[in-house]
Structure 1
Amino acid sequence: MSSGLTQDRDTPRRRNERISIISTDDPCQHAASLRDWSQDYLQLSKGAFSGEIVEISVGPIQVFKETIYQCVDEKANPRCNSYTVGVPVSVTENGYWQGRHLERDSLITLRPNEELHFRTPRESTILVTVIDCTAFDAFVRDTAGVDVSRLIAPSNAAGLPADVAQSYRVTLGTVLASVAATPEIFEHQASAKSVAETVMSASRNALQAKSPLNESPRTTHAVQRAIVERARSYIVVNRENPPTVAELSSYLKMSRRGLHHAFVNVLGINVATFLRYVRLHGVRKELLRAGPTDSVSSIACKWGFWHMGMFSSYYKSLFGETPSTTMRKVSSATRAESHSHH
């Protein structure tokens, strides 16, 4: 889905300190493109990745629109000591935010310093704002006489009335488009302050309108998500001696059947595929920062792949390109950078 902003699609670019419009074709690089967030993306659906981030930062707020074409499992931490509030623009199929099923009119939230777990639909566009705790606490107290913590604590993906959800989408989208079209807004304190207050006001309204009756259950999904996260950590720590499904079951003290159900329900793939995908992403990250003496085969072996033909087939099936193509991106980027310095 287009952001509605004119830009060059062929090269990712950052416009200035406060405005970013970035197009990506790599899940690992996309994860690193959102300022002030620490993120780890695991691509779950097969094929070439495509994404876009349009982002602004002004005073106590960050607003961004993220579009992703592939099903991705996101593990992320936003800016410290901030509230995260947002709404989907489009949801094509099952998506889960903090273990709750995502609908088009869901209000998505994170409490301060809460880790995000978001399994995106295959096509996903979300509008999100991250607001400094101190600023938002004071704003909501002054304008509504309530504590933000009371509004945001009960749930991570509650339902919104359709008109409120649409109003919130329009406000965040308009702010992004206006600032991108007129960057000098940030040069004037009055307009910059007005932008921040517009976003905080819209976010407060959305939080006040969310319906606890529309909250989707998360008990089973939350337990299964915790199992998936423990498994992921164990696989990454033991990457040079990748565990088998049986070893993973033993480590997690659960049956293979229970493990299988957890992965299929949370990520839509079985345990064996997940084991392979984590290792393939590990290879990809290393290929993207490979030095002149590194080889595809040595990096693949490091992550437990010993049959190069099968490894290449798995890699191309998931990412839509060969390992050597990924590696060439790095050398091309390095060459381009060295030329730019001459």
Structure 2
Amino acid sequence: MTKELVQTVSFETHDFEDLEEASAGWDQQYYKMTPGEFSGKIDFAQAGSCQIIRETWNQKMKYCGSGPKNTVGLALPLKQRGTGSWVGSPACLDTVIVQVPDKQGEYVGTDFWDTLILAIPENELESYASLIGNYDGLFEGGHKALKLNPQSAARLRRAGLEFFHLLKTSLPGREQQIVAASKHLTQMFLFELAQSHHIRDDDVRTCNARKLVKKATELVAGETNRTIELLEICAELGVSLRTLHYAFQEVTGMSPATWLRRERLNRVHKMLKRAAPTDILVKQVALDNGFIHAGHFSKQYVKHFGCLPSETLNISAAP
């Protein structure tokens, strides 16, 4: 078995710019935003291909930069006074900062920040998927500030502190023990983040999902004579197809295509029920609601309502 190397650096400093060179591979700049003497500390470990860092500041600082190439950066405060800001989003004590690969980010901290930071290569995230379950969407798009539930945050803080205790007390020749502990902490971090992400979706996304479903439904209702495609809806609303799908599943329990098609079928049904047979043609009503193929429309209608569209129209004329 090939031994995985462990490299460590630990130091304290009164020069905040020392932080810029402390972590291997990071492209970063720090700005001191409050007066007074700066005091900082770095504990850095490169264990295998992952980095685990503990970084402490006693001043309000601004960080601008990116992590090592092709890595996802994650940061969770161990201690923090007040609320910071990550790319414009509030970052409180239980917030995980997610820095996507190879993109500059900006964090404005509080007047005290003691933080656990992980840098995980993109290609290693795949290997964790089967172990931690689905974290689909967590690392897509731009940077994020994701709120953990308090219990998850507390577990990760304890695990992070235990890792650095092991790092300081481990005897020479125990590199593989440190690498194993690093992998365990990384796996645990991703698992807790994925679990809290789903909880956050339940608490926060539902309201947004309802608004999105409402807007998409209204958009389709406003289109006549054609079927508006899902990608057109996404472009109009400024969301991804995946986001649209998740919103509809959350609110309706159906795919957007199924829900919107049933909305149109119901619209046809109501129009036919309200019309006199001598006033409209079934085919025209179907076309007006985006059903181009008459035969396909008729099958869908029968399956949904249990009768032919012409029967609905004739019923409307019955005394």
State the TM-score bracket (shorter-chain normalisation): 0.5 to 0.7
Q: 1:39 aligns to what?
A: 28
Q: 2:75 aligns to what?
A: 86
Distance 1:185 1:111 in 2: 34
Q: Does the aligned pair in 2 maintain the 1:75–1:118 contact within 8 Å?
A: yes
Q: 1:199 aligns to what?
A: 185
Structural mapping, 1:256-335, within 5 Å: none
Distance 1:57 1:38 in 2: 16
1:152 correspondence with 2:153: no
Gaps of 5+ in 2: 206-319
Q: State the Cα distance separating 1:17 from its structure 2 match.
A: 6.7
Distance 2:151 2:173 in 1: 28
1:172 correspondence with 2:173: no
Q: Does the aligned pair in 2 maintain the 1:44–1:72 contact within 8 Å?
A: yes
The residue identity in structure 1 corresponding to 2:183 is: E
1:21 correspondence with 2:10: yes
The residue identity in structure 1 corresponding to 2:189 is: S
Secondary structure at 1:184's aligned position in 2? Answer: coil
- Structure 1, residues 261-299: CA drift from partner, whole Å, max 9, x if none? xxxxxxxxxxxxxxxxxxxxxxxxxxxxxxxxxxxxxxx
Q: 2:264 aligns to what?
A: none
The residue identity in structure 2 corresponding to 1:137 is: E
Q: State the Cα distance separating 1:186 from its structure 2 match.
A: 4.7
What CA RMSD, in Å, does the superposition of the two structures yield over aligned residues?
A: 2.2
Q: State the Cα distance separating 1:196 from its structure 2 match.
A: 3.1
Q: State the Cα distance separating 1:149 from its structure 2 match.
A: 5.5
Q: Does the aligned pair in 2 maintain the 1:107–1:206 contact within 8 Å?
A: no
Q: Does the aligned pair in 2 maintain the 1:60–1:196 contact within 8 Å?
A: no
Q: 1:70 aligns to what?
A: 59
Q: 1:96 aligns to what?
A: 85
Gaps of 5+ in 1: 1-15, 216-342
Distance 1:25 1:17 in 2: 27
Q: Does the aligned pair in 2 maintain the 1:152–1:207 contact within 8 Å?
A: no
Gap change, CA 1:24 and 1:83, over 3 Å in 2: same
Q: State the Cα distance separating 1:78 from its structure 2 match.
A: 0.8
Q: How many residues align?
A: 196
Distance 2:13 2:160 in 1: 22
Query: TM-score, structure 2 length as denominator?
Result: 0.57
Q: Does the aligned pair in 1 maintain the 2:132–2:187 contact within 8 Å?
A: no
Q: 1:60 aligns to what?
A: 49
Secondary structure at 1:137's aligned position in 2? Answer: helix
Q: 2:120 aligns to what?
A: 131
Q: Does the aligned pair in 2 maintain the 1:179–1:185 contact within 8 Å?
A: no
Q: State the Cα distance separating 1:69 from its structure 2 match.
A: 0.9
Distance 2:26 2:171 in 1: 23
Query: TM-score, structure 1 length as denominator?
Result: 0.53
Q: State the Cα distance separating 1:130 from its structure 2 match.
A: 0.7
The residue identity in structure 2 corresponding to 1:180 is: K
Gap change, CA 1:86 and 1:117, over 3 Å in 2: same
Distance 1:22 1:193 in 2: 21
- Overall identity of the aligned pairs, in %: 17
Q: 2:172 aligns to what?
A: 184
Extract structure 1 runs of 4+ deviating beyond 2 A. Answer: 151-155, 183-188, 212-215
1:50 correspondence with 2:39: yes
Secondary structure at 1:40's aligned position in 2? Answer: strand
Q: Compare CA radii of gyration and give the structure with the larger one.
A: 2
Greater shift, 16-25 or 127-136, is seen at 16-25
Q: State the Cα distance separating 1:112 from its structure 2 match.
A: 1.4
Q: Does the aligned pair in 2 maintain the 1:136–1:200 contact within 8 Å?
A: no
Structure scoring higher RCO (CA < 8 A, sep ≥ 6) equals 1
Gap change, CA 1:186 and 1:83, over 3 Å in 2: farther
The residue identity in structure 1 corresponding to 2:64 is: K
- Structure 1, residues 65-119: CA drift from partner, whole Å, max 9, x if none? 1100111111011111111122111221231112211111112111111212110
Q: Does the aligned pair in 2 maintain the 1:158–1:214 contact within 8 Å?
A: no
- Structure 1, residues 218-266: CA drift from partner, whole Å, max 9, x if none? xxxxxxxxxxxxxxxxxxxxxxxxxxxxxxxxxxxxxxxxxxxxxxxxx
Residue of 95, 98, 120 corresponding to 1:106: 95
Distance 1:123 1:144 in 2: 32
